[in-house]
Structure formats: structure tokens, C-alpha cells
Amino acid sequence: MRVTFFVLFLLFSSLFTVILVAYAQETPEVSERGKEVYEESCAHCHGIEGRGDGSAAENLLPRPRDFTGGVYKIRSTESGQLPTDQDLFDIITNGMPGSSMPEWESALSANDRWELVAYVKTFYSGFQELEETETTPRLINLTGKVKYSEKSVEIGKVLYTDLGCIECHGNVGRGDGTSAPTLVDVWDFRTWPANLTQGWTFRGGSSTEDIFKRFIGGIAGSPMPAFEGDTFYHFGLTPEESKNFALLEKKVENEEELTEEEQEEYDKLYEKWDTTVLAALDRAEGTELTPEAQKIYDNAMKDVFEKSWHLANYVKSLSPERRPKSAIGKNVLRSQYKEGDLPTLDDAEWGTLTSSYYPLVGQVIVESRQFNPTIDSVNVKSFYNDTEVAFLFTWDDRTNNTTVEETEDFGTSYIDGLAIQFPVKVPKGPTDEKPYFLWGGKKPVYLWQWMASEPESIKELTAKGINNAEEQEDQGTVQVNSEYKDGQYRLWVKRALKTEDKKDLQIEPTVFVPIAFSAWDGANGDVDTKRGISSWYTFVLEPVPSSRRFIYPPIVALLSLGLLVGLRQFVQRRNT
Amino acid sequence: MKIKMFTAFLVLLACGLGLIVLADNHEEEENNKLVFPKAYTTMKVSDGGKITGVVKFEGEVPKMKKLDINKDKVVCGKTDKYDESVVVGESMELKNTIVYLMDITKGKDFDAKANKPEIDQEGCKFTPHVQIVPVGVRLTMLNNAPITHNVHIFLNDADMGQDINKQQNRMLKKLRIKSIAEAGGPVEVKCDIHSWMKAWIAYVPHPYFAVTDEKGEFTLEDVPPGTYKLGYWHEACGTNNKEPQAVTVTAGGEVKQDFTLKLAE
């Protein structure tokens, strides 16, 4: 009996094995090394099975990529195509700026990164199908690049509006378009359009080619559409033909009678436009084009590519080439002396200064934390005179939140704000200890707290910790003015250099004063401790320029020269 | 002893079956999709019958949520708009339900109208809310207002390949969308620019699909005589994929088959 049972058991276990083997065969051969590296370096975020559900995934936004759907944002391939191996390799190598994906160039050998590419591809069967059918993803044609020029930028700017980039990326590209607050990705997470004035935050790089590729191919998984040939107005018609055709179309629309000639022209242009669109559709559907159709398509695409390069040049023009250097060393904020009245918010005189750049990071030390800050930085300029100092703070925020609101899809939205932090007592030198950078500790800090709900007032606070701030009883006269426009706040603050209040900072020329920032983007859920912060920086009131600088240096130079000559003569005399 | 062995056999068998069921974890997903025949061939249907019916809703009717028209208000906000996921008439008639034949393998071809599917974006709303698109046929998106939309079709959700996402700028009155070779869906179509705009597209291999109107009515015509599985799909009420309705169509006859749907759990 036992034996029969055993045999039966064997039979079933073999069946079991067969089933398992059958399932196992569905997954292609994996690269052992790739698996090893993946599980050690990638799985924490992307998950063991590549579903983007690793243990760290929850706090990340954008979320780590789920590899099982074959959706890849950053590609050099056309819309609807998978990325190339090189695309995957490049993302692993360079990381994705503005997301939690780091660069792996310094941590993994090139060989390991290639092994990873092979392993990551096993998570999605589409890659295998490509291999089986010996097809390669269709690359975006990068030839015919239009050189950067002011003229090209001008043409691109018009396209930016016409094509509707403005809807999400906003008037001047700060990602503050009217659709920006409602965007979600295909995984149903909130997503923000790129701030095109901050090229260093572009996930797939900010070279003109990178911008061109994102535009033509779209960003799969995000709301960013692909701008394919037939999404251009009158695809296939020359600008002149398009103009004529538009006039005729208008007539047809208004049910005006066309002359025989006009009708002929209309039919001809319609036919040309239609044929080109059909070629584009055939191509997108995977139908091989006839040589004739291919020629029509290629010809029409020349114009589309040219326009796209203009657009890429325009977008490129919106951002500095690199992320600005932070306000330390040479770039320290130096408040400039000015005789008489200090400039107000809209004074053109601010344009004569270059701003100092203070990068922000999410506050992740104290609950509740901000792991995904949306405010990149605060930029500051300053003037002072004999009695007062004025600051101009600017920072980008895609939305102007002036009230607390319950939103249906994105939870509570809070009020935007900025806090500028100084020590109450200025440290005596570089070695003298500063208060704790996070709103002070034993040593208190002096704060200016501004909220978008009261754009023309500011509160003076004293704080001994991030949760231990109080409004000063004696609210001195700090003058404030502010403006929100095109995705940017500008906040102007003016105060006397000296005050009677012992809890205030007293400012003196030439003394280096620590300064730090906290910024709240209400739409991003920032409130209380959840915010963007900076560490301590310093600023200084640049010494009053005086006429003495024209007297002393020449005297010193003359004296030095005299001394040198004297020394030479002394040496010569001793030698003889 | 024999009994014991038999029990052991049963236990092992149950385990084996359980394993197979577990392995097939796609089933849950498939319940939200349409069911298609493996192959379909067209023929002339001259003695076909008709299937008609009314789809009604059962249960507490969810209040149609007023949509927040938060941009392009001048054009898009001219009229109030409501979430169309459950549209119920006065006598509980349910609009936007797809009623179709699941297992028909031979029948008529698509007619001219079916071969020209359109979705209009007038007033920043997709009309119709549920559109049937034959496989291999291109959908046309209409836009008569000077408003920029993007047409985002979520094919990947239904394992139908990469999503389509094309900008239809304010100057493009018509935008044709590439055809899909394989049947599938329904898949969602959205406009990211106007986040309230949502609709459904079903890519189908044969013409025996109907979408219920305001009166909850549907009609399937020219059905070759025979017995078929009649299926339905509704975005909020789900499908009857697990228990399709059998209908028998006779030459020239008319079969009535009503459905009563509840919100899916």
C-alpha cells in the first residue's frame, strides 16, 4: 500500500515539476551577473520582480519604474517603440536628474551596467519579441539639426504657443501651465510638467538633442504627448500651400461658393495633405510604405524636423546651461551699497545685480518629512544704504496657493510660503558656532516668515527649533511687497539695519551674516515641518566704496617698489 | 486502506488543480474586458435575426458628480458637465453599456458607418462616451473649438502595446489615430490637458456590438441563426463574462433579452 502511495506521490510531484518547468520556460534565460547586481543595487526601489514596488518605493516620487509594463520614459526611439539597449544603459549610467534614480557610473563597472540592461529587459516580454522577430526599435531621426540662433529661438517660441506646450509648461516655461495642477501619470500618481527654465531637473538630460527627442517621441507613461508629423497643422503642405488651404477651408466652412479654380486648388491641396497623413498612419501601424509614399513622408518630415529643432532651441534658451553655483565663496551674496532710497519691487535697478543661488532640499530630519520637494531654490539680490537693507527673493512654484483647500484627487493643498532665517547673534568669526540650521536650538534664530495668504505682510519670529518658534511680541517695521506671476514668486523685504529689539538681528557692513531658507509649496502638501530647506549660507553688506581706494593702493605700491629697490641696493652693496 | 489512499489521491488532485488556478492569475483582469472569438470570417447574411433589449440599473443610483471645469472655461464651461460613468434614465435605463456577441465566428461585415468611427471633443467632452472601433480602422478625433487637447489612449492597461498620446493642437479640427490590429479593451481615452475628459474605446473584430442609448436600448441586427453567448460590459457595473447569457436567434426572428446591472463591487 505504502509503495502505491509513494508511486502516486512521485507521479504528482513529477506533474508538479512539469508545470513549474513549463512556467519557468516563459522567462528567458537570465544573466546571472545581471540578476546579482540587480538584486543588490536596484531591487530596493524597483522590486525583486521589477514591478517598481521595492521597500523604498513608497516614499519616492516619481515612483521607481515598473519594468513589467515595458513603459520607458526616456527613449531615443519614436512614440510607441521600446527603448534601445543604449537608452537603458545611458539611464543607468547617468541617472535621472530630479528623481531618486542616481547615476551608477561611479558605483558599477560598464560591464555590470550592460549586464543590468540585459536583466532588466527580461521583465517585459516585448523585448524578447523584438529579438525573436529580429526587429529593432525605430530611432528618432536626429539629422538636420538647426544650429542655435536667436532667429531659430524666435521661430521656436511661436511654435511653443501654437502647438500647445503652453497648456502645461506655462507662458515662460516654468511648468505652471493651466493644466499643470491636474496632471497624473499612467500609474495614477501626481506629476508636474518640467520647469523648462531649470534644465538641470530634466529627467532625460537637457541637451538640445535630448529636448528634441522628448518632444518628438513623447514621454511614455506621463501626460507628455508625442509630436508626430501629423500632429502638425497641415502636415505635408508648404507654408504657402498651408496658407492658401486655410483660406479655402474657411470658405468651405462658411459654405461660400468656391470658383472652379478654387475648387481645383482645394482638392489638390486636400489630396496632398491627406496622402501625407495617410503615409504617416501607415508607417505608425507598421505597414511598409511604397517608395513613393516614403518620399512624400520624408519630404514632409523635413519641415516637421526643422520646426522641432527650432522648438528645441527655444526650450534650450529658457534655461542656463548649468545649474547655477550656490552662494558660497565667490558667489556669496554681497549686498550693494546705494546712496538714498533703496529700489522697490518693480524697480529696474534690480536688473543690474546678478542673483545668488540657494539650492533647497526636502526636510527629512523631523516628522513630517518632505521627500519630494518641488521648489528647487531661492534666488536673492540685495541693496543697502546708510540705514536700511532691501532684499529681493525669487523662487519658482508652479501654483499660487493662498488658501488651505481640500482637493479631490491630491489631498489637502496648503498655503505657499517662505521663511528667511538669520541668527539672533552674529557669530564672531568662522569658528564661532552658528545656531542649529533647522530653525535653531539652544542658540535662537531670527526669522522672517512670509505666507502667500497675506502677500504684503511678514512676521518676525524667534525660534529655538523647528517646532519651537514664536512670533515676536514686538513686530518691528519690516516692509514687504510681493508678486506671483508665470510660476514665480518675487518677494521684496526692507528693514532698518539697526533696531531696538534685542531679539532682532542687527546688521553691520562688512560683517558676514549667516542666512538660510525654508520654502513651502502648498500644492505639494508642504505645511509646518514638511517643506524645502537650505543649510546655512552667508551674506555680507559689501563695504561702502570710498574714495580712499584710489589713494591707498598706489601709496602701498610705491612703498613696495621703494622697499624692493632699497633691498636690491642693500644686497648689491653687501656683495661688493 | 483503500479509502485512505483514495483520500490521498483526492488531496493531491486538489492541490494540483489549486496550483493551476493560482498560476492563472490573469483571470481577474480578464473579467473587465470584452470576450472575442478566436477567429471571425465575414459572409453575406440575408436571413439574419435580431437581438434587442433594454439594460436597466438596479440599486441606489449614484449621484452624477458635477465636473470641475478648471480651465478654458469660456469654451469648456459653457454648459455644466457631469461624470458619465453611470448614466441612468428616469425608469432606471442604463446608458453606455456595450452589449455584444461573444462567440460569433461568422457573420456580416462592418457597414460604412462603423468603418468611420469618430469621437467629438466639442465642449471639451468626448462624445460618445463609449466608442466601438473595428480592428484595422482609424478613429478620427474631431475638435471644432480653438482649444488644444491631447488624445491619450491607455492601450498598455489592456496589454495592447504602448499607449497612444498625441497632441491635437487648437488648429487641428481632425486628428486621425492609428488603427489597432488586434481586438481588445475597452481602454480608456483621456485628455490630460482637460483632466475631466474621459471616455472608452473598444477595438472589436466583428460588428455585433451595440452601445445602449439614453433609453438603455440596444439592437444587434443581421445575426445569422444560431445560439450565441450574449455579453455586456459597463464601466462601473462590470461584465457577465463569468455567466454569459445564451440567446437563440432564428432566421428573420427577433429575440428580446434585457439585463439588469448593479454596481460592481
pLDDT tens string, chain A, 576 residues long: the values are: 566 666 666 666 665 555 554 554 444 455 789 999 999 999 999 999 999 999 888 878 788 889 999 999 999 999 999 999 999 999 999 999 888 899 999 999 999 999 999 999 999 999 999 999 888 999 999 999 999 999 999 999 999 999 999 999 999 999 999 999 999 999 889 999 999 999 999 999 999 999 999 999 999 999 999 999 999 999 999 999 999 999 999 999 899 999 999 999 999 999 999 999 999 999 999 999 999 999 999 999 999 999 999 999 999 999 999 999 999 988 999 999 999 999 999 999 999 999 999 999 999 999 999 988 999 999 999 999 999 999 999 999 999 999 999 988 899 999 999 999 999 999 987 788 999 999 999 999 999 999 999 999 999 999 999 999 999 988 888 999 999 999 999 999 999 999 988 889 999 999 999 999 999 999 999 999 999 999 999 999 998 766 556 677 778 888 888 888 888 888 888 877
* Residues B132-157, mean pLDDT to the nearest whole number: 95
Q: What span, in angstroms and rounded, lies between the C-alpha atoms of A293 and B36?
A: 34
Same structural domain for residues A58 and A117? yes
Beta bridge partners of A527: A530
Phi, psi for residue B229 in degrees, rounded to 5: -95, 125
Same structural domain for residues A528 and A574? no
Q: CA–CA distance from B54 to each of A395, B84, B186, B232 (Å)?
A: 59, 19, 21, 12
B171 to chain A, minimum CA–CA distance in Å? Answer: 6
Same structural domain for residues A495 and A432? yes
The percent of residues in chain B predicted with pLDDT above 90, rounded, is 80
The answer to whether position A214 is within a domain reads yes
Residue B216: is its pLDDT beyond 70? yes
Contact A540, A333 (CB under 8 A): yes
Say how many domains are in chain A: 5
Same structural domain for residues A560 and A520? no
Last residue of a domain, one of A318, A352, A376: A318
| Grid cell locating A564 | 624692493
Spell out a b/e string for A514-537, using b for 16 or more CB atoms within 10 Å of the CB, else e: bbbbbbbbbbbbbbebbbbbbebb
The answer to whether position A304 is within a domain reads yes
Identify the H or E element spanning A294.
helix A291-318
Residue B22: is its pLDDT beyond 50? no
Phi, psi for residue A41 in degrees, rounded to 5: -105, -25
pLDDT at A26: 46
A3 in contact with B at a CB cutoff of 8 Å? Answer: no
Contact A380, A393 (CB under 8 A): yes
| Grid cell locating A105 | 557610473
Same structural domain for residues A528 and A554? no
The answer to whether position A138 is within a domain reads no
Q: Judge: A178–B150 Cβ closer than 8 Å, yes or no.
A: no
DSSP 8-state secondary structure symbol assigned to residue B191: -
Same structural domain for residues A197 and A293? yes
The answer to whether position A567 is within a domain reads yes
Within chain B, residue ranges assigned H as helices are 2-23, 27-30, 73-76
Give the residue from A519, A497, A533 showing the smallest Cα distance to A391.
A497
Contact A19, B23 (CB under 8 A): yes
User: Contacts from A13-17 at CB under 8 Å and sequence distance 24+?
Assistant: A15/B16, A16/B16, A16/B19
Output the domain CATH number for residue A530: 2.60.40.1190
The answer to whether position A145 is within a domain reads no
Residue of B147, B171, B198 to mutate for A, most A C-beta atoms under 10 A: B171
The answer to whether position A534 is within a domain reads yes
Identify the H or E element spanning A284.
helix A260-284
Same structural domain for residues A513 and A439? yes
First to last CA, chain B: 47
Last residue of a domain, one of A291, A318, A345: A318
A78 to chain B, minimum CA–CA distance in Å? Answer: 11
Last residue of a domain, one of A99, A132, A165: A132
Q: Indicate the residue type of A554.
A: P
pLDDT at A28: 47
Q: Judge: A225–B166 Cβ closer than 8 Å, yes or no.
A: yes
Q: Indicate the residue type of A428.
A: K
Same structural domain for residues A39 and A154? no
Same structural domain for residues A220 and A123? no
Beta bridge partners of B259: B55
* Three-state secondary structure call for residue A62: coil
Chain B residues with CB-CB distance to A304 below 8 A: none
Output the domain CATH number for residue A52: 1.10.760.10
Same structural domain for residues A307 and A360? no
pLDDT at B11: 57
- Fold classification of B33-261 (topology level): Immunoglobulin-like (2.60.40)
pLDDT at A558: 86
Beta bridge partners of B20: none
- Taking phi over 0 as left and psi of -120 to 50 as alpha, with beta for the rest, A318 belongs to alpha
Q: What span, in angstroms and rounded, lies between the C-alpha atoms of B249 and B106?
A: 14
Q: What span, in angstroms and rounded, lies between the C-alpha atoms of A428 and A15?
A: 81
Among A residues 316-335, those touching chain B with beta carbons less than 8 Å apart: none
| Grid cell locating B204 | 472589436
Residue of A8, A13, A182 to mutate for B, most B C-beta atoms under 10 A: A182
The boundaries of the domain holding residue A569 are: 550-576
The answer to whether position A564 is within a domain reads yes
Chain A residues with CB-CB distance to B162 below 8 A: 70-71, 79-82, 220
pLDDT at A27: 47
CA atoms within 13 A on the CB side of B243: 1
Cα angle A246, A251, A253 (rounded to 5 degrees) comes to 90
Closest CB from A178, A226, A285 relative to B166 = A226
Same structural domain for residues A392 and A281? no
pLDDT at B112: 92
Give the gyration radius of chain B's Cα atoms: 21
Identify the H or E element spanning A491.
strand A488-496
Q: Judge: B193–A167 Cβ closer than 8 Å, yes or no.
A: yes
Contact A16, B19 (CB under 8 A): yes
Same structural domain for residues A49 and A113? yes
Give the gyration radius of chain A's Cα atoms: 32
Contact A207, A90 (CB under 8 A): no
